[in-house]
Structure 1
């Protein structure tokens, strides 16, 4: 997420069915999910199969040491990390209907002793049948500049991660989050190098970030060296002080171009703990809310549904983040989650192709 501080929709997303909660709780006691069929190396006609959330470190995933996802501890063993992660992943499914989680990695986490425990997060998600997107995050301070911090640590990190998960078809690889230090051409060159380096990884298990702050995918989409990969887009309401519903739809579609069939919005978000109602219907067809974030959320989720695009909300869980759509509940070693904004969850479901129009 870049660090900075719609007309109301004519449709209203349905509540998550109660049966989803029961199904997810059952998964807590289920055996390991069977592996998905081997990928073909080609992306499909749309990306609607990705219905997810980000699980983040309270520090926004920018760290100069091991990543500590909200609710976890770097002192936990593999088994304890796995147990906690299993419950949190199950809660994402129960509360939101998610099937995808995006997780950060960095060299401190992967190249050191904590990797043995951190792998439990990926394993717990994969074992429940979740799609898992692992993405590299840079460090803090002067290193928070949109460049790979240290190539001598970056490539060994990816060697370890790819070797561990190249045969797990639930796991997807995103070479870098928000590569805004590079020009479009420089970033495409790095992404192409990643694909050449890990040529045995099917391309339909790679997410190439859009250039800049992942804020447009048109340049990476046009590069033939990156063909067959998914493209990741970020889009946020705080990028404008105010825009109407129609203006937000136009802004998003311009960043996607004609590449919706390959694109997943693997970060988008808005305030969820401040009481905004994202379900409020427009009083008439030409109405627009006077709240920028309501316009934004309704516009982008309508667009994701219209274009059959996958989306991964930021964040599903991040301690002390007003955008977080889930919050930790229960004992530290036996966590569960609660939804912070029911209308926000409705809009996620609507963007994921669920729900029905008002009055239908």
Structure 2
């Protein structure tokens, strides 16, 4: 895993060094490095100083899986607010598609060339960004992933919405309770390559092996690619293919909203149960009209804010991404990195008719 180099910039005068850097960048997917470079090399060799002064004037770029997605808009705005409070600058770039991995790679390379201090990335694919992200770290850019991870050696810190175990388990519990622990169910996911979705689904499958769920049968995992129309069509297809379907879990904000929209206008409303991960503002109408009984989500603004704080902590040398290191994230409190540099803002909130109006995001 790469760490955080010192942040001072200086001209690289040795021609051999410039040539080596240029060749290395070419080999790593076309990213180049300007003569003004960040000094210090790989920070893996350095030690974290939790008492180091928090740096100001940094530029932190957010690269979500999909821009103009309400979930990521909320998350990234949380990061923006945190950076403003920390005295640093925020920018957001990204693709309008949730499956454009080539586009994400291009943005990582561009941000590296622009010499941002740090980037927070929600990866569409666990491995596709690795070459570009490793080059970014070699060039002195701190890399945090949030919401959806890369391979662990391709970033320094991963801000996880909640543990995969908690999210997978609780979504099964929510749906099982609604269908009386019996019947056929399906999962409506995002993209087949989505790291977080696959981790949660793996936990769901293991959870369903428990004796308590012996009468529940998972008949299919469908993929809506975080596209509203495709997710709507996939919901329709599931109900046509499995007329006895009792419930659907959709661990994606785009998917659960699209599924609720279909169910709400169909004969299945109130009969086929739906749960998963959604935002209160997206799901409020469907909870109030009886289409959805309960769903869950962490607060995305806190996720983005924690990603921003982690990026600044890396840049300030307070952490390097190693297990056991701690940093303070403003009003969110103090956090300690777990295995592979993973940190989480806490457990998800369950939303029902009784509490949904208490939330606005």
Q: TM-score, normalised by structure 1?
A: 0.30
Q: TM-score, normalised by structure 2?
A: 0.30
- Per chain length, whose mean CA-contact separation is higher, i.e. which structure has more relative contact order (CA < 8 Å, sep 6+)? 1
